[in-house]
Amino acid sequence: MTRTVPHIQVPADVERVVARLVAAGHEAFVVGGCVRDALRGVDPHDWDVATSATPDEIQQVFRHSLYLNRFGTVVVRQGDHEIEVTTYRIEADYADHRHPTAVTFTDSLHEDLSRRDFTMNAMAWRPGIGGQLGELVDPFGGQRDLEARVVRAVGEPRERFAEDALRMLRAVRFATRLGFMIDPRTADAIRDSAALARNLSGERIQQEMTKMLEAPKPSEAFRLLSDLGLLAVICPELEEAKGTPQDKAVAQNVFEHSLATLDATPADDLVLRLAGLFHDIGKPATFADGHFHQHEFVGEAKARDILRRWRFDKETVTRVTHLVRNHMFWYQSEWTPSAVRRFIRKVGLENIPALFALRKADNIGSGARSPRMYALEALWERVQEEIRAASAFSLKDLAIDGNDVMTELGIPPGPRVGRILDELFERVTDDPKLNTRERLLELMRDIGGG
């Protein structure tokens, strides 16, 4: 098979960095993900340079560079670009299947490429300098695999996954994001090595999960993770959902329903994607009575466990678990205005748009037809009405505050102030017209005096 002679258009800033290293007598290449992306015709989001120069030598060439000590990477600012310049290296001794305990520099580009994970990530490009043609260095058939749309480990797959178990998740991530197949030998090695993923740190799992969830169709990642035996190791809660039947038009078990819901959430909203994936994660445990009774509360706790295990930040955990806990609401047209306000109060006004987006995805993931969507739209309209009417949805929306309570009733700070505010809030929820300073002061005297 003949292959087109590759050419990569490297930004002038990056070319300049390479040229300065070469002029100082070193080798320098553009490497890794940016070569892969450029060959696919996609604009790389960052450009990495590998060089035979040691970190000290790199810093001699670029006086104002920033040295990232631990990994010996030097960040060079050139024009609009921040370019990571890294000395050729071999990573040795993966004692814990996590990260190398030692980094050894080498002056061989080939050695540096051979420690990389997949053939498509193990290519280097020498930019043409001074009118010369550029050159692709591709010792492992990365270009061929890119064209064939295959994710293939460099070297012996089993050894590579034993060195670093994260590569198994990266294989799934690349396959999903690029729409590639995992080469059968590489896939077999993942199946055999899946148990090693239990040693991975939560932070590293989180990073890969986040990238998988950004894919246009993230369900593919979770199906692959499950088929390869990785899901049972990193997220047994979700694997278990495969065995929980679910009578939905588009899904016969909770796992399939969760994935269909996930795909129906917007790709640019990580919180909604996680909520879609985990909204029914409480179902396997509550299946006993066949009704998934209170699965939203069990699900909230399980989602929290998983997200904390993966070291997601506090805000993400809070927002996702809040959505999971509140995802079971059943609107009926008989709801009174005060019922609508109570619903808003319970969910929190700021969470309403996300909760509705989740429900919409949940409906799509159930194959539900119009009536349910109409009900959702009807409730949305009624919520908007309440917002327009400027009702109070939280204590801070009241026309008075705790200071007013203390002054008016002449009482000291303490729990009693809170109780009176709560009571006023209750009354206002039932009747928003009460939310004026005058009416509330009057009411307060009634309540407080008693």
When asked if residue 33 is in the footprint of Mg ion (CB under 5 A), the reply is yes
Under DSSP, the state recorded for 30 is E
Tokens of 135: 């050159």
- Give 11's contacts (C-beta < 8 A, 6+ positions apart): 47, 79, 81
In angstroms, the CA 428 to CA 431 distance is 5
User: Which of 39, 166, 262, 270 is in the footprint of ligand ATP by CB under 6 A?
Assistant: 166
Pairing of strands 102-105, 89-92: antiparallel
Judged by DSSP in three states, 75 sits in strand
In angstroms, the CA 421 to CA 400 distance is 9
When asked if residue 164 is in the footprint of ligand ATP (CB under 6 A), the reply is yes
Residue with nearest beta carbon to ligand ATP? 33
User: Which of 167, 341, 360, 382 is in the footprint of ligand ATP by CB under 6 A?
Assistant: 167
Q: Pick the piece of the chain touching ligand ATP (CB under 6 A) from 114-122, 217-225, 292-300, 411-419.
A: 114-122
CB-count burial class (<10 Å; 0-12, 13-18, 19+) for 27: middle
Nearest residue (CB) to Mg ion, 172 versus 187: 172
Binds 116: which of ligand ATP, Mg ion, none (CB < 5-8 Å by kind): ligand ATP
Judged by DSSP in three states, 106 sits in coil
When asked if residue 33 is in the footprint of ligand ATP (CB under 6 A), the reply is yes
Could you tell me if 199 and 97 are in contact, meaning their C-beta atoms sit under 8 angstroms apart?
yes
Pairing of strands 124-126, 81-87: unpaired
Nearest residue (CB) to Mg ion, 47 versus 222: 47
Looking up tokens 């509330």, which residue turns up? 440
In angstroms, the CA 347 to CA 148 distance is 49
Bin 408: left if φ > 0, else alpha if -120 < ψ < 50, else beta.
alpha
When asked if residue 202 is in the footprint of Mg ion (CB under 5 A), the reply is no
Nearest residue (CB) to ligand ATP, 170 versus 279: 170
Nearest residue (CB) to ligand ATP, 166 versus 234: 166
Nearest residue (CB) to Mg ion, 31 versus 354: 31
Q: Pick the piece of the chain touching ligand ATP (CB under 6 A) from 69-77, 160-168, 289-297, 420-428.
A: 160-168
Nearest residue (CB) to ligand ATP, 158 versus 242: 158
- For the bound state, the minimum distance from the C-beta of residue 163 to ligand ATP, rounded and expressed in Å, comes to 8
User: Which of 97, 116, 302, 319 is in the footprint of ligand ATP by CB under 6 A?
Assistant: 116
- For the bound state, the minimum distance from the C-beta of residue 57 to ligand ATP, rounded and expressed in Å, comes to 21
- For the bound state, the minimum distance from the C-beta of residue 108 to ligand ATP, rounded and expressed in Å, comes to 16
Binds 365: which of ligand ATP, Mg ion, none (CB < 5-8 Å by kind): none
Q: Pick the piece of the chain touching ligand ATP (CB under 6 A) from 134-142, 161-169, 298-306, 428-436.
A: 161-169
Nearest residue (CB) to ligand ATP, 47 versus 287: 47
- # binding residues, ligand ATP (CB under 6 A): 9
When asked if residue 72 is in the footprint of ligand ATP (CB under 6 A), the reply is no
In angstroms, the CA 360 to CA 216 distance is 18
- Return the closest-CA partner of residue 243 out of 284, 278, 279, 280: 284
CA 175 to chain centre: 17
- Give 411's contacts (C-beta < 8 A, 6+ positions apart): 405, 417, 448
> What is the number of other CB atoms lying within 10 angstroms of the CB of residue 287?
18
In angstroms, the CA 137 to CA 392 distance is 65
Binds 193: which of ligand ATP, Mg ion, none (CB < 5-8 Å by kind): none
Nearest residue (CB) to ligand ATP, 121 versus 391: 121
Binds 164: which of Mg ion, ligand ATP, none (CB < 5-8 Å by kind): ligand ATP
In angstroms, the CA 141 to CA 145 distance is 6
206: β partners: none
Nearest residue (CB) to Mg ion, 33 versus 141: 33
Residues 117 to 156: which contact ligand ATP by CB under 6 A? Answer: 117, 121-122
**Which residues contact Mg ion by CB under 5 A?**
33
What is the contact surface with ligand ATP in residues (CB under 6 A)?
A: 32-33, 116-117, 121-122, 164, 166-167
